[in-house]
Amino acid sequence: MLIGKVTGNIAATIKHPVYKSQRLLNVAILTPELQPTGEAVVAIDSVDAGVGDLVLITQEGRSAMAVVGQTEVPVRTVIVAIIDHIDLA
């Protein structure tokens, strides 16, 4: 699991059939201290996140497929939660 910040929407006129009913978002990866790592990913939005939201993403294929509800599809990165607060105790 990784922490990220949604930085934008992704639009595509042609995409794999599994993505046709899915919303794709650009997510900048952050450290636990919320500092940018310089990395970004395209993720399926399963929680109705928006630009500027802090999110929890999974980059494990089987977990991502379970969230989408399909198996054996080209899905790796999915937003699984919107983060309200982080406590690094």
Pair 43, 63: CB distance under 8 Å: no
Considering only CA atoms, which of 50, 53, 46 is closest in space to residue 22? 46
In a domain, 76, yes or no: yes
- Strand pairing partners for 82? 55
Range of the domain at 66: 2-82
Q: Model confidence at 86, in pLDDT bands (50, 70, 90)? A: confident
- Whether residue 88 lies inside any domain: the answer is no
Tell me, what CATH number does 29's domain have?
2.40.50.220
In a domain, 87, yes or no: no
Q: What percent of the chain has pLDDT over 90?
A: 46
Whether 71 is covered by a domain: the verdict is yes
What is the number of structural domains in the chain? 1
In this prediction the pTM is: 0.85
Tell me whether residue 89 is in a domain: no
